[in-house]
């Protein structure tokens, strides 16, 4: 009998999973596999917080699959080696997966042609984006560089497809694999994940609970999404990152009848999902987004030497700038940070401390549960001024004014920096006004590089 392999990657769910559905519809038995692949060219090893998340997500997925009659096979190694050997072991005649959009897509393309040459059926599907990046191009056929026309063009193509239902059952084929615990994804000595466990429930059930909670309560407050003390945003980012919920499922839920106050915020919320799409479109065009300036003139930017004490103070939330410290402590404790505060801490690092945005991107990569190869790199470049549709470089966030505006009662700051009024709280490690002036002077190098 024909059996099929479903290779899961950033789509750790059973519902609305086109690759899984295709394998089931083909008939025969289904091998569901996840690879821990840190070897293939273009694959970036996950950071600590993401590894913690992945453990929980795979464990939940294995349970969901077991309920349907299938098991999750775990293997480690380069996809170009592991998938063909799994084909040989199982005698599978088809391989299905959902697409990836970064540099690793070259690995997928090579594997597809190799397996196709061997006579296998190989199909890939769109599952983690509402709009495939190559479909949304400007009049000249180029990818959009500016968000607003990009999102307008997306919406003009019509509603995304409706989500696929959860399969009724799967005729699974169990194959030997690794034990999840042996992958060592969870921290042990020290176990720094207590705050993560208190904040999150990885897996599709946790994702859908979060979505419901947001639609019922948070969405009506979404016009106040810039206030970090409130729970006015969805906190769906890690669930979307690991594909425990698809953007199609989110879109579809948001198009069910909503309370009027929630309905009023729907378009704005969906446009933030649009920023995720935009980030992937940029990554698709520029797979080196996490390492290379999108705007080449920024290659001339004279980043300062990263002073280890400054960097450590930023990472540990003891810069003496309350809003920055609050954000960095929220990140360290929970693996997540509010979007407004991400912009503030990133601006502080790149502009007030003149640290190269790649250093901040790497720290976020290690500490965020939603660390995402597209959104993280695109957002850091956006703040640094080197990215597509970026904030102009001369827009240096003043963290004191930002705090007054978005946290006027200091509720957020006091939550994370309770010692703020004590004499032990440090004075700022840099003079905000003087460092701003220095940053603007450094930017002259970029302007000079840009002018003909």
- Judged by the rule CB under 6 A, the positions of this chain that interact with ligand FAD are 225, 233-237, 240-241, 272-273, 275-276, 279, 339, 342-343, 346, 364, 368, 370-372, 375-376, 379-380, 383
Q: Would you say 147 or 301 has its CB closer to ligand FAD?
A: 147
User: Annotated catalytic residue: which of 53, 151, 200, 275?
Assistant: 275
Dihedral of CA atoms 7, 10, 14, 17 in degrees, nearest 10, equals -80
**Token output for 323:** 């809003």
Q: Would you say 96 or 242 has its CB closer to ligand FAD?
A: 242
For the bound state, the minimum distance from the C-beta of residue 238 to ligand FAD, rounded and expressed in Å, comes to: 8
Q: Is 380 a catalytic residue?
A: yes
For the bound state, the minimum distance from the C-beta of residue 423 to ligand FAD, rounded and expressed in Å, comes to: 32
For the bound state, the minimum distance from the C-beta of residue 239 to ligand FAD, rounded and expressed in Å, comes to: 8
Q: Would you say 87 or 215 has its CB closer to ligand FAD?
A: 215
Closest CA to 105 of 189, 29, 41: 41
Q: Is 183 a catalytic residue?
A: no
User: Annotated catalytic residue: which of 251, 303, 307, 438?
Assistant: 303
Q: Would you say 95 or 349 has its CB closer to ligand FAD?
A: 349
Q: Is 265 a catalytic residue?
A: no
User: Annotated catalytic residue: which of 380, 382, 398, 416?
Assistant: 380
For the bound state, the minimum distance from the C-beta of residue 245 to ligand FAD, rounded and expressed in Å, comes to: 10
User: Annotated catalytic residue: which of 171, 272, 307, 438?
Assistant: 272
For the bound state, the minimum distance from the C-beta of residue 279 to ligand FAD, rounded and expressed in Å, comes to: 5
Q: CA dist 54 to 10, 38, 114, Å?
A: 10, 14, 29
For the bound state, the minimum distance from the C-beta of residue 344 to ligand FAD, rounded and expressed in Å, comes to: 9
Q: Is 275 a catalytic residue?
A: yes
Q: Would you say 75 or 310 has its CB closer to ligand FAD?
A: 310
For the bound state, the minimum distance from the C-beta of residue 434 to ligand FAD, rounded and expressed in Å, comes to: 24
Closest CA to 229 of 135, 142, 323, 166: 323
Q: Would you say 3 or 293 has its CB closer to ligand FAD?
A: 293
Q: Would you say 3 or 376 has its CB closer to ligand FAD?
A: 376
**Active centre residues (catalytic):** 272, 275, 303, 339, 357, 380
């Amino acid at each position: 009998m024909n059996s099929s392999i479903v290779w899961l990657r950033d789509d750790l769910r059973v519902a609305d999973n086109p690759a899984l559905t295709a394998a089931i519809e083909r008939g025969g038995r289904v091998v569901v596999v996840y690879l821990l692949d840190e070897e293939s060219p273009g694959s970036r090893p996950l950071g600590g917080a993401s590894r913690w998340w992945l453990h929980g997500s795979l464990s939940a997925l294995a349970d969901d699959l077991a309920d349907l009659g299938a098991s999750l096979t775990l293997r480690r190694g380069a996809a170009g080696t592991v998938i063909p050997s799994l084909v040989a072991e199982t005698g599978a005649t088809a391989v299905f997966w959902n697409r990836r959009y970064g540099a690793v897509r070259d690995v997928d393309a090579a594997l597809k042609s190799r397996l196709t040459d061997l006579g296998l059926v190989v199909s890939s599907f769109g599952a983690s984006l509402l709009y495939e990046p190559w479909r949304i191009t400007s009049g000249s056929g180029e990818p959009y560089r500016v968000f607003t026309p990009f999102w307008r063009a997306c919406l003009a193509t019509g509603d995304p497809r409706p989500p696929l239902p959860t399969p009724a059952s799967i005729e699974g084929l169990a194959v030997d694999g690794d034990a999840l615990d042996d992958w060592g994804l969870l921290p042990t000595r020290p176990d720094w994940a207590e705050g993560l466990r208190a904040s999150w429930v990885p897996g599709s059930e946790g994702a859908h609970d979060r979505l419901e909670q947001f639609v019922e309560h948070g969405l009506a407050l979404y016009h106040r999404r810039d206030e970090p003390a409130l729970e006015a945003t969805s906190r769906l980012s890690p669930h979307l990152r690991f594909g425990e919920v698809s953007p199609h499922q989110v879109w579809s839920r948001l198009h069910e009848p909503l309370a009027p106050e929630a309905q009023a915020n729907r378009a704005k919320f969906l446009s933030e999902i649009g920023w995720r799409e935009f980030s992937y479109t940029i990554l698709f065009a520029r797979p080196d987004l996490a390492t290379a300036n999108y705007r080449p003139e920024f290659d001339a930017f004279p980043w300062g030497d990263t002073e280890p004490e400054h960097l450590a103070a930023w990472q540990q939330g003891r810069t003496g700038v309350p809003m920055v410290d609050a954000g960095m402590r929220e990140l360290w404790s929970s693996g997540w940070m509010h979007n407004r505060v991400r912009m503030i801490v990133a601006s502080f690092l790149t502009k007030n401390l003149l640290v190269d945005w790649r250093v901040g991107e790497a720290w976020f990569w290690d500490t965020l549960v939603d660390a995402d190869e597209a959104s993280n790199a695109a957002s850091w470049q956006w703040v640094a001024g080197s990215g597509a549709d970026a904030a102009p470089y001369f827009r240096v966030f003043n963290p004191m004014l930002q705090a007054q505006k978005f946290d006027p009662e200091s509720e957020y700051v006091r939550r994370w920096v309770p010692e703020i009024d004590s004499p032990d709280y440090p004075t700022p490690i840099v003079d905000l006004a003087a460092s701003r002036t220095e940053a603007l002077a450094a930017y002259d190098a970029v302007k000079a590089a840009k002018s003909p």
